[in-house]
Amino acid sequence: MDFAFTPRQQELAARARAFADEVLLPLEQITDEHGEVPVELREGIRQKVRDWGFAGINHSKENGGLGLSMLEQTAIEEQLGRVTNGLWSCVWRPPVSLKFGTEAQRERWLRPSCAGHRRGAFAITEEGAGSDPRQVQTRAVKKGDQWLLTGVKWFVTSYNASDFVIVHAHVDGDPDKPTLFIVDKPSFTEAPPTVTHLRSPKFMHNFAFDHAELEFRDTPVPEDALLGSIGRGFELTKDWFVEARLQIASHAVGAACRAAEVANDYAAGRQQFGRPIRDFQAIEFMLADMAVEIFAAKSMLYRVAWEIDQGLDRKLVHAHASALKLHCSEMAGRVIDKALQILGGRGYMRENPVERLYRDIRVDRIWEGTSEIQRVVIAGQIRKRGFGTFADIGGAP
């Protein structure tokens, strides 16, 4: 077994770290105070993403991306996860489902998205449909040579940085026909408008972009903007779930590392009762527990990324990605909570990155499948395939 990063993986991780430190870190305070990345800074940041060589990190070269392996992507994402306020999302990741589009669709939406000239948001969640997407009420009805979409979507992340939205709707309102439609934003503003931006509520974190609520009212979508085929909506998003769960796990590990480093430095310098607080076993044991948690999570992260690159069976990949997302998101919650405790009152100040990480990381136990849903997936796999799914010797393909 070889656990070492190749020189190329090391270079990518080092470059991503430098990008995070030099480009994203200076934006943290301003994003927190402003509530999102100020609009006037966005084009400059996009250009820096291109200049630093991070345009299209999650797609093949054929589709305009960088053609990186999952382990290479993970090496980058982990470093981006160190920054607060969801600034990792300044590096775009075009929706994975677009790779299943026709050549014309990939040319129109995917390749320009990889280059950062377009951006797509993804809308599946609704007021009554969260963990259970079969409850989706948004319907698509065929009229002449186009589809008409009607429904309300919630939590559409990065809507205000996007120029198209991939909408998950049920054809004829039939939950057995989940289907994806690409809706271009310009059509939102045509008269009369058929898509309304209802609002972008405030959340616990101050994120780089918004999370919008959108209402579709007989929104016309041409036939050639249906992605895949009728009824394949879930099939096309399955790969995306795996990728998104790995991204969350990578960001969680990066966030936990940064918080632990800040706490470790502080514990060495902060004097109380005449000595550094690190000399109190209560503090040093917290640091020890944090290190062990990160060590375990990081090992798991690289392993699952490596398994994907080795072509592990898709169902096993799905199970392992769930386990990884669950473990890393909960690990980061525990580690950052301890980091904040070590920092005392300073850790509770908004100007401290650990305070922001504490708020940022909470959503990782909710989006892309809550912790409970990950446990449902994991338990289902154990029931179907046995404990070996997670505990076989060697475990890999």
List of residues contacting ligand FAD (CB under 6 A): 122-125, 130-131, 155-157, 203, 211, 363, 366-367, 370, 372-373, 376
Task: Write down the least CB distance from residue 255 to ligand FAD, Å.
Answer: 15
Looking at the Cβ atoms of 363 and 378, the one nearer to ligand FAD is: 363
Report which of 355, 321, 363 is spatially closest to residue 336, judged by C-alpha positions: 355
- In terms of Cβ atoms closer than 10 Å to its own Cβ (0-12, 13-18, 19+), residue 391 is exposed
Tokens 């039939």 belong to which residue? 174
Q: How far apart are CA 19 and CA 59, in angstroms?
A: 20
Smallest gap from Cβ 304 to ligand FAD, in A, equals 21
Select 45 or 363, whichever has its Cβ closest to ligand FAD: 363
Report the nearest approach of ligand FAD to the CB of residue 131 (Å).
Answer: 3
* Exposure string over 258-285, b if 16+ CB within 10 A, otherwise e: bbbebbbebbeebeeeeebbbeeeebbe
Instruction: Find the distance separating the first CA and the last CA of the chain, reported in whole Å.
Output: 14
Active-site annotation holder among 40, 261, 368, 372 = 368
Residue nearest to ligand FAD (CB): 130
The smaller minimum CB distance to ligand FAD, of residues 346 and 362, is found at: 362
Is the Cβ–Cβ distance between 239 and 315 less than 8 Å? no
Residues in the chain: 397
- Least Cβ distance, residue 188 to ligand FAD (angstroms): 17
What's the CA gap between 304 and 295, in Å, rounded? Answer: 15
Q: Smallest distance, Å, CB 199 to ligand FAD? A: 14
CB within 8 Å of 246: residues ≥ 6 apart: 70, 73, 74, 77, 301, 304, 305, 308, 321, 324, 325
Q: Which is nearer to ligand FAD, 366 or 382 (CB)?
A: 366
* CA 285/CA 18 separation, integer angstroms: 31
Which of 291/376 has CB closer to ligand FAD?
376
Rounded to a whole number of angstroms, the minimum distance from the CB of residue 369 to ligand FAD is 6
Nearer to ligand FAD, 23 or 120 (CB): 120
**Within 10 A of 144 (CB to CB), how many other CB atoms are there?**
8
368 is a catalytic site residue: yes
Closest by CA position to 342, among listed 352, 329, 327: 352
Spatial distance between the Cα atoms of 142 and 148, rounded to a whole number of angstroms: 6
- 342: amino acid identity, one letter: I
Catalytic residue IDs: 368
